[in-house]
Amino acid sequence: MNKIAQIFETLEYGPAPETPDQANAWLDSKNRVFGHFINGAWTAPGKTFPSTNPANGEKLAEITDGTSADVDLAVKAARTAFPLWSGLSGYERGKFLYSIARMIQKHSRLFAVLETMDNGKPIRESRDVDIPLVARHFYHHAGWATHLEREFPDHVPYGVCGQIIPWNFPLLMLAWKIAPALAAGNTVVLKPAEFTSLTALLFAEICERVGLPKGVVNIVTGEGDTGAALVNHSDVDKIAFTGSTEVGKIIRAATAGSGKGLSLELGGKSPYIVFEDADLDSAVEGLVEAIWFNQGQVCCAGSRLLVQESIEERFIAKVKKRMANLRVGDPLDKSVDIGALVAPVQVERIRDLMKKGVAEGAVVYEPDGAVPSNGCFLKPALVTNVSPANTLVAEEIFGPVLVAMSFRTPEEAVALANNTRYGLAATLWSENINLALDIAPKLKAGVIWINGTNQFDAAVGFGGYKESGYGREGGREGMGAYLKPKWEKDLKPAPAAKSVSAKATNPLDAGHLDQTAKMYIGGKQARPDSGYNRPVHGPKDDLVGEVGDGNRKDIRNAVEAARAALGWGTTAAHSRAQVLYFLAENLDYRRDEFAARIKAQTGEDGSREVAQSVERLFAFAGWADKYDGAVHNPPMRAVAAAMVEPLGVIGIVAPPSRPLLGSIALIAPALAMGNAVVLVPSDRSPLSMTDFYQVLETSDMPSGVVNIVTGESVGLAKTLAEHDGVDGLWFAGPAEASAMVEKASVGNLKQTWTSRGLYYDLADPRFAGDYFLSKATQVKNVWIPYGA
């Protein structure tokens, strides 16, 4: 070996430390003890806890543990500031956001160093990724503020937003929460994570410097119970949370029935798929980004490597070789790849999970070499020899631990990738564009990266499917999540529904009716599992018919049929439109018969309701091929295709009034967007929809796409809410039952819409557009390499 080659072989990195002096000077200027930032001023410190540097265990500052009285004070300040802030023009608000972005750029190194000291992430990341993305987020939303009125007509801000963020990207998560909230005209109370409050407190100072009106941004520090106090505060209008799925579920249950807006960005176990035709060296580099970026403490970390069997050995060898070159150490050293984990408790948690995984058969590879003994350091780890049931495959580890499995065919890759309760992100590598673009739509995740990974931009929505939560941050979707329709505040309580007659009747009295309307499941008429029927009464309590009394089993059958019909979602939009037009046509053809049936049940002339139902089907047929996505141009060598996808199976419990339109107005948008539906029609007047099966059968609607189960609404709604095969649930009914539905939907975090006892006039044209279309869909952002 010649001399130069030798030097290259042995070349060691010299230390390249970033100085902590300015960050320390800032902390000293605060005497290293902090109160909250409320109403534009600092409160006196209360009971405090330490914030430490996980790389060396040194205490950085004392942070106040917020009480519910502190939270209350902050919410009051935000409430008081709301009229002024929301009353400013978008342009005025935009200028504040712009100033914040400028100030963050101006002080970017201070923010980066402080972030690294408090969190343990390598300075290279806080400097080159976190802080630039923070500035970008404020710039982007300065623009949204300016254009809000035109882009979101008839929308208003929620009011006071409670925002709770995790410790893995402390300032970036703050930016993702605060920038859109302020752009929309909301005021906020934000609680940083207990391990990492410092950059949020520095940010509060930026708010002071730019002259943000007092009370618009309030920062209350503290632990989980401080967060819970914010969630449960009755004067908070919306909660936005990022963190563990476990706490996300607690928050979903706690806000059920409150009418608070809610967005949840939760955990993940994202697949990283490498096909045999991938550029393997690039895929290895991507993998380093996917799982060792931020020590693997990333909600969208590519923590499950799925590699095609034919290249498995070669690829794993390359990965191991690369792992040996990763430098673990002082996060303030500019040439360190892997810094410290956030806190000792996380290190323990990861070690415990690994022990468990190993006991279940996993084999762990870690490169040679030592890591600093003092501080929260872990080596990068590669786990093999695991089955899908292994703890390390199923659980979010949130550490530098990669789990590898192999697959033979693309179909198997998709099945393995989707075999998780999460659905945040997925990465795939292939040089074959056909394969890549065939697989991307099949992955059940909110973000897909093709031949790249961990790309983020303010213009591109980010958020998950399934138990990874709901709502998006960034992009138009993220902006919309901080706005609500103007008319919502004018909704009046729904008139008390006339209850289904409780009159004790001899069930045999109904025997003279020669026909009981059947349920409709999987394209077939079905008798109720219970073997019981329910009477249907007219306006004068006269018996006008009978329907099956559906139960749990009928719902299960219907959900199974709906799941088998999910192919509807990939049917061409044009074809779905044709079926909806056909439904409209066939309903119109039988309008007299349907009008008479409405009259028999309600006493009202039904012809107008039938006409409105036909029109609504027509309207959504028109939407089927128009409510679609966008292509974003983030500032990197890629485009992000924002694809609008159906939720899957939507349970729809129709309101008691308007036996036909009440159901049609809800199923039409769901069907137009490609969902399969389990419908519980009006429990008082179900006959219009049991008649409707004949229209379905003559309109080329594939079996199983629409299933109709008659019976008592609230009981059936509960069963739907608890069923993990249901992806979304819309419930029109009383307030208490709406709360029950929201609470019971916690299991698989299904997306719910409930009427909360309010009267939604479904005949109103405002329901013929994106109101329900947006609830019937979720956006998947597919990042595709593009341009130079």
- Enumerate residues 6+ apart whose C-beta is below 8 A from 381: 354, 364, 365, 366, 400, 401, 402
Closest CB to Mg ion among residues 62, 366: 62
- What is the three-class DSSP state of 561? helix
Nearest to 647 by CA among 607, 604, 677: 677
| Closest CB to ligand NAI among residues 346, 685 | 346
Letters for 342-381 (x = contact with ligand NAI by CB under 6 A, - = none) are: ----x--x--------------------------------
242 binds, among ligand NAI, Mg ion, none (CB under 5 to 8 A by kind): ligand NAI
Tell me, by CB under 6 A, how many residues bind ligand NAI: 26
Give the one entry of Mg ion, ligand NAI, none that residue 595 binds, where binding means its C-beta sits below a cut-off of 5 to 8 angstroms depending on kind: none
Q: Which among Mg ion, ligand NAI, none contacts residue 51 (Cβ within 5 to 8 A by kind)?
A: Mg ion
Number of H helices, E strands in the chain: 27, 32
Smallest distance, ligand NAI to C-beta of residue 297, A: 7
Q: Residue type for 784, please?
A: I
Least Å from the CB of residue 660 to ligand NAI: 43
Whole-Å CA distances, 627 to 103, 473, 512, 576, 779: 39, 20, 49, 13, 11
Specify whether the CB–CB gap between 116 and 126 falls below 8 A: yes
213 is an interface residue for ligand NAI by CB under 6 A: no
User: Measured from the CB atom, is 383 or 709 closer to ligand NAI?
Assistant: 383
Burial class from Cβ neighbours inside 10 Å (0-12, 13-18, 19+) for residue 504 reads exposed
CA distance 623 to 584: 14
* Residue 287 near which of Mg ion, ligand NAI, none (CB within 5-8 Å, type-dependent): none
- DSSP letter string, 435-500: HHHHHGGGS-SSEEEES--S---TTS-B--SGGGEE--BSHHHHHHTTEEEGGGGG--BPPPPPPP
Among 26, 38, 40, 51, binds Mg ion (CB under 5 A): 51
Rg (CA), the chain: 28
At its nearest, how many Å lie between ligand NAI and the CB of residue 243? 3
- From first CA to last CA, the distance across the chain in angstroms is 38
179's contact among Mg ion, ligand NAI, none, with CB below 5 to 8 A by partner kind, is none
**Candidates 54-62, 109-117, 141-149, 186-194 — which segment interacts with ligand NAI by CB under 6 A?**
186-194
Binding mask 234-273 for ligand NAI (x = CB under 6 A): --------xxx--x--xx--------------xx------
E strand intervals along 366-450 = 381-384, 401-407, 425-429, 447-450
Restricting to residues 386-425, name those near ligand NAI by CB under 6 A: 396, 398
Least distance CB 224 / ligand NAI (angstroms): 3
Question: Does 224 participate in binding ligand NAI (rule CB under 6 A)?
Answer: yes
- Should residue 471 be labelled a site residue for ligand NAI when binding is judged by CB under 6 A? no
| Count of other CB atoms within 10 angstroms of residue 364 | 17
Binding piece for Mg ion, criterion CB under 5 A, among 190-198, 302-310, 432-440, 745-753: 190-198
Is 18 an annotated catalytic residue?
Answer: no
Assess 18 for contact with Mg ion (CB under 5 A).
no
* CB 118 to ligand NAI: min, Å: 14
- When CB distances are held under 5 to 8 angstroms depending on the partner's kind, the choice from Mg ion, ligand NAI, none that residue 462 binds is none
Q: Identify whether the C-beta of residue 116 lies closer than 8 Å to the C-beta of residue 339.
A: yes
Residue closer to Mg ion by CB (options 96, 195) is 195
Catalytic residue among 18, 115, 194, 265: 265
> What is the Cα–Cα distance from 241 to 436, expressed in whole angstroms?
32
Find tokens 């119970």 and name the residue: 225
The Cα–Cα gap between 3 and 439 comes to 49
Site for ligand NAI in 437-466 (CB under 6 A): none
Using CB under 5 A as the binding rule, whether residue 195 contacts Mg ion is answered as yes
Residues 6+ apart with CB under 8 A from 487: 154, 766
With CB under 5 to 8 Å by kind, the binding choice for 224 among ligand NAI, Mg ion, none is ligand NAI
> Least distance (Å) from Mg ion to the CB of residue 194?
8
Q: Residues 733, 543: contact at Cβ < 8 Å?
A: no
CA-CA distance, 572 to 625, in Å (whole number)?
Answer: 8
CB 54 to Mg ion: min, Å: 6
Q: By the 8 A CB rule, do 103 and 318 touch?
A: no
Is 341 among the residues that bind ligand NAI (CB under 6 A)?
Answer: no
Beta strand residue intervals within 10-71, DSSP E: 33-34, 37-38, 41-42, 48-52, 59-64
Residue 195 or 623: the one with the smaller Cβ distance to Mg ion is 195
Closest Cα to residue 721, out of 251, 228, 253?
Answer: 253
Query: How far apart are CB 176 and ligand NAI at their closest, in Å?
Result: 11
Task: Confirm or reject binding of residue 181 to ligand NAI (CB under 6 A).
Answer: no
Residue range at the interface with Mg ion (CB under 5 A); choices 116-124, 148-156, 298-306, 496-504? 116-124
**Contact with Mg ion (CB under 5 A) among 18, 70, 118, 645:** 118
Bridge partners of 730, per DSSP, are: 652, 753
Q: Does 166 bind ligand NAI (CB under 6 A)?
A: yes
- Which listed residue (103, 104, 228, 714) binds ligand NAI by CB under 6 A? 228
For ligand NAI, the binding residues (CB under 6 A) are 164-168, 191, 193-194, 223-224, 227-228, 231, 242-244, 247, 250-251, 266-267, 299, 346, 349, 396, 398
For Mg ion, the binding residues (CB under 5 A) are 51, 118, 195
Which residues are tagged catalytic? 265
